[in-house]
Amino acid sequence: MSIIDELLREDLRGRTPYGAPQLDVPVALNTNESSYAVPPVVVDEIVAAVAAVAPGLNRYPDREFTQLRGDLAAYLSRSRTTVSPEQVWAGNGSNEVLLHLLQAFGGQGRTALGFTPAYSMHPIITATTGTAWVDGLRGVDVEQGGGGAFDLSVGSAVAQVEEHSPNIVFLCSPNNPTGTALTLDVVTAVHDAAPHAVVVVDEAYTEFARPGTPTALTLLEGRPRLVVTRTMSKAFAFAGGRLGYLAADPQLVDALRLVRMPYHLSAPAQAIARATLRHADTMLATVDAIKEQRDRIVHELPGLGLHPVPSDANFVLFGGLRDSHTTWQALLEQGVLVRDVGIEHYLRVTAGTPDETTAFLDAVAALAPEHLEGQS
């Protein structure tokens, strides 16, 4: 053991960092980014916004990012509920927002529960705060009619919450990597079954949900322990801008000030996020096109011998593979990068442009039959 290993916190020894491959390939469909570039009209406004704040960079930014919170609240209020600026918090990507939640409500001697497979950063961020992580499970009551292998039913979720008595519960809807969404009765049942827990509903992909898929924003009123997290990385094509946010009770938001770093959102970050939000409709114009390619993948993969999971996100999890990593490598050799999410016999692909989707489907069609389960 090296001296650094000896000095490292014992609970972090032997862990591996987050590491989605960043490879130079013709078709990159592995990290659920938008394949569409920021439109020129928005680029022009971003450049102007940065130019406007640049002379004042000798001063610290607005610590409370007041104007940005107002813009985010206005955007969230376009749904079926009204959100006030006092209910909004933001950070450098939704991961920082999740970190703030765990720093404030987790820690040594406390437990976080998530229902896996789900977003891989939930347990990673949990570990960095010294919070104990519990792997809850999905699909555990399939044989009793509880739904598919990746579904989460009310009965199963409540039973697991009652068993572990967590301090924080993570619910992911639409879920990553499965693409499956939760019904609101699951959210309310988990909330009621965990009276001493903060319940976090991660809605990073909600703009891609199929019609009729509900948002937990409608449940915030009267539930001070409920949090809904969002991101601008996906539907807003703003992954490089690093802006995530949440909506919750103002008192919960106020508690996050205890753990954030001073001036954690730079003046340029606030300016470019606000410029992008002013063009929300333009930035979201590609959502329908991405959903069309997602549905195309779901429709065409069965004809190639694979089993896609119907998705409410901008990606598709597909199964039926004999060895997922071998198939991942075979697709990469054809210039198509998808994601090995660590679920045996499954891979995940982001819905990209029509040409990228065609390239992916052609690469799958070119695979030897030996890649499929049950084939020799």
Q: Are 155 and 183 in contact (CB under 8 A)?
A: no
Tokens 């703030």 -> residue: 100
Average pLDDT over residues 127-140: 92
pLDDT tens readout for residues 18-34: 777 888 999 999 999 99
Question: Element (H or E) spanning 298, and its range?
Answer: helix 287-300
- How far apart, in whole angstroms, are the C-alpha atoms of residue 104 and residue 168? 10
Residue 140 has a pLDDT of 63
- How far apart, in whole angstroms, are the C-alpha atoms of residue 141 and residue 67? 46
Confidence of residue 148 (pLDDT cuts 50, 70, 90): confident
DSSP single-letter state for residue 150: T
**In 117-207, which ranges are E strands?**
132-137, 168-172, 198-202
Average pLDDT over residues 347-375: 94
Residue 142 has a pLDDT of 41
Architecture of domain 40-278: 3-Layer(aba) Sandwich (3.40)
Question: Residue ranges per domain, the chain?
Answer: 17-38+285-371, 40-278
> What's phi and psi for 240, nearest 5 deg?
-75, -15
Four-residue CA torsion sign, 96, 287, 178, 197? positive
Q: Is the pLDDT of residue 143 over 60?
A: no
**List of residues 6+ apart from 87 with CB closer than 8 A:** 73, 220, 247, 248, 249, 250, 253
Average pLDDT, the chain: 95
Q: What is the model's pTM?
A: 0.94
Q: Is the pLDDT of residue 229 over 70?
A: yes
- CATH of the structural domain 17-38+285-371, one choice from 3.90.1150.10, 3.30.2290.10, 3.40.50.2300, 3.40.50.880: 3.90.1150.10
